[in-house]
C-alpha cells in the first residue's frame, strides 16, 4: 500500500504488469494467426490451428489486456476520485491471483478445444463460473469504496465505472446460462433464434461495457491529468453517459440483419444504433473542446497524442458502427474482411491508445520516478499508429473488393465469381495485414521496454537511497 496517500497502489502495479503480459500474448498470437491466414501451411493441428488460436487471441486481448488494465485503473481512479482508500486491499490481492488463474485456464482450455462456440463467451462452464466469482469480488470492492467515499461529487468517470460493473455482470450471467453435461461440455440454455438474439445482445453490449465504458472512464480521468486543464463540460459528459447506456442496450440485433429474427427487432436495433452517434460524439467533442488553447500539447506532450488519437478513433468507430447497422450496407459488408478492420480500429486504436497513455502516466507516479524515455514513447506511438492504420485500411479495401465479388452476378442471376476466385484475390491484403501486425508488435515491444526500464530504474534508485 502507498503509505503516503493511504491508497492500495501495490495492487494497481500488479494488475498493470500482468495486463501488459497478457497484452503481449494477445498481440503475438494475433500476429501469428494473421500469418496463418496468409500462409495456411503455418497451421499445425490440433493445437496450433487458426480455429484454436483465434479465441485465445480475442480472450487474451479483451479480457487479459483490456479487463486487466481496467481493473488496475478502476482501483487507481476510484480511490483518487473518492479520496478514499480501497475498501479491501486483501480482497483485491485475491482478485489479482484469481484473474491470472482464469486467463491461464482460458488459454489452456481453448487450446484443448473446449469451446462453447459463442463469440466472446467461449469459455466452458467451470471457467465461466470462476469469471463470475472474479467479477463479484471486483464489483463489491469498487462499489463499497464509492459508498464510503469522502468526496461527495461523483465525477463522470465513476458513472462509467459503475455502469461497467453492473452491465458486465448482467450480460455475462444471462448469456452464459448453460446446461452442463460434463466437466468440459455444456449447452446453451437457449435454442435457435432465441440463442442468437441473446448471444448478440451480449456480444454487442460486451463492446459497450468492456470496450466503451471503461476506456471512456479512463479517458475522462487522464485527459485533464495529462493536459493540466479541466474537461470541457461535465454536464455534457453526464448527459451523454445516460444516453449511451440507454441506447446501447437495444443495438445487439444489428448483428442479425437478414436473419430469421423478427423484423421489428432488427429495425429497433438499427434505429438505436444510428442514434448512438450523438452520445458517442459528445465524448469526442468533450475531448476536442477540452483542448481549446492546448493543441500545442499534441507536439509537446506525448501523453496527449495517445489520448486525442484514441478518442478520434473512437469517433470514427462510432460512425462506422452505426453505418454498418443499416440493412443495405450490412448486406454488402457483413461476413467480409471489412469487419476485422472495423473491430481492430477500436481495439488497437481507441482502447489500446488510451490504455498506453494511462500506463505511461501512472507507472512513474506509482514508482516515484520519471519515464525512462519520452523519445521511445514517441517511437512507440508512431509504430502502433502506423501498424493499426495499415491493418484497418487494408482490411477495409479487402472487404469492399470481397463484397463486390461475392455480390457480382451474371445476367442469368448466377454468381459471377466462385468463392475460391474471391479468396485468391484477398491474399495480397492478408500479407499487408500481417505486416501491419508486425509493425504494431514492434511498437508494443518498445512500450514494454520503456516501462521495464522505468520500473528497473526506480528500483535501482530506491536501493541506492536506502544504502
Q: Predicted confidence band at 466 (pLDDT cuts at 50, 70, 90)?
A: confident
Tell me: the pLDDT tens digits for 189-236? 999 999 999 999 999 999 999 999 999 999 999 999 999 999 999 999
Q: Is the pLDDT of residue 146 over 60?
A: yes
pLDDT of residue 374: 98
Instruction: Determine, yes or no, domain membership for 31.
Output: yes
pLDDT of residue 377: 98
Q: Is the pLDDT of residue 250 over 80?
A: yes
**Containing domain of residue 177, as a range?**
1-189
Instruction: Determine, yes or no, domain membership for 79.
Output: yes
pLDDT of residue 3: 44
Q: Is the pLDDT of residue 252 over 90?
A: yes
CA 16-20-22 angle, to 5 degrees, is 120
Q: Is the pLDDT of residue 2 over 70?
A: no
Q: What is the 3-state secondary structure (H, E, C) of the chain?
A: CECCCCECHHHHHHHHHHHHHHHHHHHHHHHHHHHHHHCHHHCECCCECHHHHHHHHHHHHHHHHHHHHHHHHHHHHHHHHHCCCCCCHHHHHHHHHHHHHHHHHHHHHHHCCCCCCCCCCCCCHHHHHHHHHHHHHHHHHHHHHHHCCCCCCCCHHHHHHHHHHHHHHHHHHHHCCEEECCCCCEEECCCHHHHHHHHHHHHHHHHHHHHCHHHHHHHHHHHHHHHCCCCCCHHHHHHHHHHHHHHHCCCHHHHHCCCCCCHHHHHHHHHHHHHCHHHHHHHHHHHHHHCCCCCCHHHHCHHHHHHHHHHHHHHHHHHHHHHHCCHHHHHHHCCCCHHHHHHHHHHHHHHHHHHHHHHHHHHHHHCCCCCCCHHHHHHHHHHHHHHHHHHHHHHHHHHHHHHHHHHCECCCCCECCCHHHHHHHHHHHHHHHHHHHHHHHHHHHHHHHHHHHHHHHHHHHHHHHHC
Instruction: Determine, yes or no, domain membership for 48.
Output: yes
pLDDT of residue 133: 98
Q: What's the whole-number mean pLDDT along residues 10-38?
A: 98
Nearest to 280 by CA among 370, 346, 363, 194: 346
The answer to whether the CB of 290 falls within 8 A of the CB of 307 is no
pLDDT of residue 246: 95
Q: Is the pLDDT of residue 465 over 90?
A: no
Q: Is the pLDDT of residue 301 over 90?
A: yes
pLDDT of residue 370: 96
Nearest to 392 by CA among 356, 440, 355, 444: 440
List the CATH number of the domain containing 106: 1.20.210.10
Return mean pLDDT, the chain. Answer: 96
pLDDT of residue 464: 83
Tell me: the pLDDT tens digits for 168-195? 999 999 999 999 999 999 999 999 999 9
pLDDT of residue 5: 64
Tell me: the pLDDT tens digits for 430-461? 999 999 999 999 999 999 999 999 999 998 88
The answer to whether the CB of 257 falls within 8 A of the CB of 271 is no
Instruction: Determine, yes or no, domain membership for 467.
Output: no
Q: Is the pLDDT of residue 1 over 90?
A: no
Q: What's the whole-number mean pLDDT along residues 235-247?
A: 97
Q: Is the pLDDT of residue 30 over 80?
A: yes
- Which residue, chain included where needed, has cell 501486425? 437
Distance CA 11, CA 85 (A): 12
Tell me: the pLDDT tens digits for 364-420? 999 999 999 999 999 999 999 999 999 999 999 999 999 999 999 999 999 999 999
> How many structural domains comprise the chain?
1
Q: What's the whole-number mean pLDDT along residues 65-71?
A: 98
Cell of 85: 482508500
Distance CA 352, CA 433 (A): 18
Instruction: Determine, yes or no, domain membership for 152.
Output: yes
Whole-model pTM: value is 0.97
Of the chain, the end-to-end C-alpha distance in Å amounts to 22
Q: Is the pLDDT of residue 462 over 90?
A: no
Q: Is the pLDDT of residue 20 over 70?
A: yes
Instruction: Determine, yes or no, domain membership for 27.
Output: yes
Q: What's the whole-number mean pLDDT along residues 358-368?
A: 97
Amino acid at each position: 500500500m502507498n503509505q503516503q496517500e493511504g491508497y492500495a497502489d501495490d495492487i494497481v502495479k500488479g494488475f498493470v504488469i500482468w495486463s501488459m503480459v497478457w497484452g503481449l500474448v494477445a498481440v503475438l498470437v494475433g500476429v501469428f494467426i494473421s500469418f496463418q491466414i496468409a500462409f495456411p501451411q503455418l497451421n499445425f493441428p490440433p493445437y496450433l490451428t487458426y480455429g484454436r488460436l483465434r479465441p485465445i487471441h480475442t480472450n487474451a486481448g479483451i479480457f487479459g489486456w483490456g479487463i486487466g488494465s481496467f481493473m488496475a485503473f478502476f482501483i487507481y481512479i476510484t480511490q483518487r476520485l473518492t479520496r478514499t482508500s480501497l475498501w479491501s486491499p486483501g480482497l483485491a490481492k485475491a482478485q489479482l491471483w484469481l484473474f491470472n488463474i482464469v486467463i491461464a485456464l482460458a488459454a489452456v482450455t481453448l487450446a484443448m478445444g473446449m469451446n462453447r462456440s459463442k463469440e466472446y463467451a467461449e469459455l466452458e462452464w467451470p471457467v465461466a463460473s470462476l469469471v463470475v466469482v472474479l467479477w463479484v469480488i471486483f464489483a463489491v470492492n469498487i462499489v463499497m469504496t464509492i459508498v464510503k467515499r469522502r468526496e461527495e461529487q461523483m465525477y463522470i468517470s465513476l458513472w462509467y465505472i459503475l455502469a461497467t460493473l453492473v452491465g458486465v455482470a448482467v450480460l455475462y450471467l444471462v448469456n452464459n446460462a448453460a446446461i452442463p453435461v460434463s466437466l468440459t461440455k455444456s449447452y446453451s440454455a437457449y435454442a435457435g433464434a432465441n440463442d442468437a438474439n441473446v448471444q448478440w445482445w451480449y456480444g454487442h453490449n460486451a463492446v459497450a461495457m468492456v470496450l466503451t465504458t471503461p476506456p471512456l472512464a479512463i479517458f475522462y480521468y487522464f485527459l485533464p491529468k495529462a493536459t493540466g486543464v479541466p474537461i470541457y463540460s461535465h454536464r455534457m459528459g453526464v448527459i451523454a453517459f445516460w444516453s449511451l447506456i440507454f441506447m446501447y442496450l437495444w443495438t445487439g440485433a444489428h448483428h442479425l440483419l437478414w436473419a430469421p429474427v423478427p423484423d421489428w427487432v432488427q429495425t429497433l436495433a438499427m434505429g438505436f444504433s444510428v442514434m448512438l452517434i450523438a452520445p458517442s460524439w459528445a465524448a469526442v467533442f468533450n475531448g476536442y473542446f477540452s483542448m481549446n488553447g492546448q493543441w500545442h500539447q499534441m507536439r509537446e506532450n506525448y501523453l496527449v497524442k495517445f489520448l486525442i488519437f484514441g478518442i478520434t478513433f473512437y469517433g470514427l468507430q462510432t460512425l462506422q458502427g452505426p453505418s454498418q447497422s443499416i440493412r443495405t450496407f450490412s448486406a454488402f459488408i457483413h461476413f467480409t474482411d471489412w469487419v476485422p478492420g472495423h473491430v481492430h480500429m477500436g481495439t488497437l486504436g481507441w482502447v489500446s491508445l488510451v490504455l498506453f497513455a494511462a500506463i505511461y502516466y501512472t507507472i512513474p507516479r506509482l514508482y516515484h520516478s520519471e519515464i525512462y524515455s519520452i523519445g521511445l514513447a514517441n517511437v512507440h506511438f508512431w509504430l502502433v499508429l502506423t501498424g493499426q492504420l495499415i491493418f484497418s485500411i487494408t482490411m477495409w479495401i479487402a472487404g469492399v473488393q470481397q463484397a463486390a465479388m461475392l455480390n457480382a452476378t451474371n445476367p442469368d442471376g448466377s454468381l459471377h465469381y466462385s468463392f475460391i476466385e474471391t479468396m485468391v484475390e484477398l491474399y495480397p491484403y492478408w500479407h499487408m495485414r500481417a505486416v501491419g501486425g508486425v509493425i504494431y508488435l514492434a511498437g508494443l515491444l518498445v512500450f514494454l521496454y520503456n516501462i521495464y526500464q522505468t520500473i528497473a530504474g526506480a528500483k535501482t534508485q530506491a536501493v541506492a537511497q536506502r544504502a
